[in-house]
Each structure stands twice: as structure tokens, then as C-alpha cells.
Structure 1
Amino acid sequence: MRQSPKERIAEDAIKAWQLNATLMALIPLIVTITLFVLANIFSFSYWYAIGLLVVTIVESIITIFLIPKIRWNRWRYQIYDQEIYIQHGIIIVTRTLVPMIRVQHVDTKQGPILKRYGLSSLTISTAATTHEIPALLEEEASALRDQISELARVEQDDV
């Protein structure tokens, strides 16, 4: 069996994913608060709202504090002359080999949360699908984009 890739994404990815999870956790919190208000207005039991509050708190703790660290620990990638090796997943670990000859184009993208931490995601497109290496340092993402583009061009010339 092939060795796992050695390269890791930036450690600030944990902070970016935690911020994203915090923003997403606001939705169930608003629903929970709405249920408390409705229970008060329509005079039905608060137990539904309390149950939903417990579920919301547990879900928030897991998605904000636990999942990003495990996700970062599992994300790995390696760039070779002939292929790109990507490994990710928490419960189901996915290992993907992308042959350089299949690479059509490579992009970097950066949303507001990644920009705050100086990170970018690298997207590798083939005819069949796209593959993403999330949360790389901006300079590293640009360098990898150029390196993959150059290696893919060399592979295209060899055919």
C-alpha cells in the first residue's frame, strides 16, 4: 500500500473552519430562541425548546471544537511529477490520485473567512470532476498552482 501524503494544509485552517462553524451554528440557535418565544406566546410547554437547546449546544460543541481539529489532522496532499495525491476524511478516509495528464486547469480561490487568515484553496479541475486542497497559505497556494500548471503542461507536451 502506498504511503500517506506528507504535506499538510495550514494550521490556521482550524480557526477558519471554527469561525465558519460558529456562523453556521447561529441558525439552530435562532430557531431555538424562536421556539422559546413561541412557547411563551402560545403557552405550550418549554420542554420542546429546552430539548432543542440541549441538542443545539451539543451539536455546536462538536462542530466548532472537535470536527475542525480532526479534519485538519486528516487532510494531506503530495505533488509528484506524474500525479497529485490527496487524502482527507474523518470517518471515511478518501485517497485520490489525480494524474497530471488529466489536469485541465488549476485555480486558487479565497472567500472572506479564508482571506481573514491569509489562506486560499487550490482547485484542480479534470474533465470528470474538480478536486480541492483547502486552506493553504496564500503564497503556498500560488506556488502550487504554478507548479501543477507547469507539470500538467509538460505532461501534455509528452503525449
Structure 2
Amino acid sequence: MGVLLVLATIGSYLIFSATDVNLWFSAIVFAVALLYFIFIYGFIIPFRWMRWSYQIKHDEIEIQHGIIFRKRVLIPMIRIQHIETSQGPLLRQQNLVSLSITTAAGANEIEAVNASESDELREYILSLVKVAKEDV
């Protein structure tokens, strides 16, 4: 957040110093941008993670998320085809991984799992899938 704020400050300074804009207008624009960053990073993102959860049961995986509208996804173990892990630059910086669970109907993600836990979690889910397919 700090880097974005510094870049926004430098960018707004360069834009407003190169043009003939009133100082009050630039101060208001900067204040609005600052309040926006504080609102998003201080309230929305932490609240979003408080409202996101997953639970792995022996016969299904349940994923719940949403702030205003709650979405609940149940993935039967017998329907899981494969599990992928992905890690972009921001997740790599935080040592996190996303697990993508693919079925014939589509893919669902368990986001931001610790990289050390991701392999264990993947193997655990695959073992439950194997047991579920053997029972059929």
C-alpha cells in the first residue's frame, strides 16, 4: 500500500505541476485518493477475508465467500478430476498458493493457502478422491 501511495503522490505532483491547476483542486484529488486507499486496504480487503472460508469433509469440499451476497459451493469428492496449484508474483511475495479444483462442470479455487501447507492439502484431497472413487 505504501508504494502505491508514494507513486500516486509523485504522479499527481507531476501532472499538476505540468498543468495550470488550482492548488485546492489538487489537494482535494489527493485527499480523495488517500481516503480511497484507506477504505479499500483498511476495511474492504480484511472484511472480504473474514467472509471467505473453506472446509474439507470426507465426501465433499465446501467453499463459502461473499460480502453482501454469500455464495456457497459444494464440490463432491467423486466429481474432482484434478487439482492445480498456481502462484503469481503477489502470492509468491507472501509465500502463498492458490489451489484450483477442477470438475467436469468447471473449476473452483481455494485462494491464498500457505505454500508449505498446499502440497499436504493437495495430497489429502487427492487421497479422499481416491477413496471416494474406490467406494463406487
Q: TM-score range by the shorter chain?
A: 0.7 to 0.9
- Residues 113, 44 of structure 1: alpha-carbon distance in 2 compared, 3 angstrom cutoff: closer
| Aligned 1:41-52 pairs, distance under 5 A | 41-52=18-29
Tell me, yes or no, if the aligned pair for 1:107 and 1:122 is still in contact at 8 Å: yes
Matched, 1:72 2:39: no
Matched, 1:93 2:87: no
- Residues 54, 102 of structure 1: alpha-carbon distance in 2 compared, 3 angstrom cutoff: same
- How far the C-alpha of 1:61 sits from its partner, in A, is 0.5
2:94 and 2:103 map into 1 onto residues whose CA distance is: 28
Match 1:134 to one of 105, 111, 118: 111
Structure number with higher relative contact order (C-alpha < 8 Å, ≥ 6 residues apart): 1
Tell me, yes or no, if the aligned pair for 1:36 and 1:46 is still in contact at 8 Å: no
Q: Structure 1 counterpart of 2:101, which letter? A: I
Tell me, yes or no, if the aligned pair for 1:114 and 1:120 is still in contact at 8 Å: yes
| Aligned 1:14-93 pairs, distance under 5 A | 22=1, 26=4, 30=8, 33-93=10-70
TM-score using structure 2 length: 0.79
TM-score using structure 1 length: 0.69
- How far the C-alpha of 1:99 sits from its partner, in A, is 1.2
3-state SS, counterpart of residue 22 of structure 2: coil
Q: What 5-or-longer segments of structure 1 have no aligned partner?
A: 1-21
Q: Structure 1 counterpart of 2:125, which letter? A: I
Tell me, yes or no, if the aligned pair for 2:96 and 2:113 is still in contact at 8 Å: yes
% identical aligned pairs: 40
Tell me which residue corresponds to 1:107.
84
Please identify, of 51-60 and 107-116, the stretch whose mean Cα deviation from structure 2 is larger.
Answer: 107-116
2:18 and 2:64 map into 1 onto residues whose CA distance is: 51
RMSD: 2.7
- How far the C-alpha of 1:65 sits from its partner, in A, is 2.0
The structure that is strand-richer by fraction is 2
Tell me, yes or no, if the aligned pair for 2:12 and 2:30 is still in contact at 8 Å: no
Q: Structure 1 counterpart of 2:115, which letter? A: E
Tell me which residue corresponds to 1:12.
none
1:113 and 1:39 map into 2 onto residues whose CA distance is: 31
- How far the C-alpha of 1:145 sits from its partner, in A, is 0.7
- How far the C-alpha of 1:98 sits from its partner, in A, is 0.9
1:114 and 1:33 map into 2 onto residues whose CA distance is: 27
Matched, 1:116 2:98: no
Tell me which residue corresponds to 2:130.
153
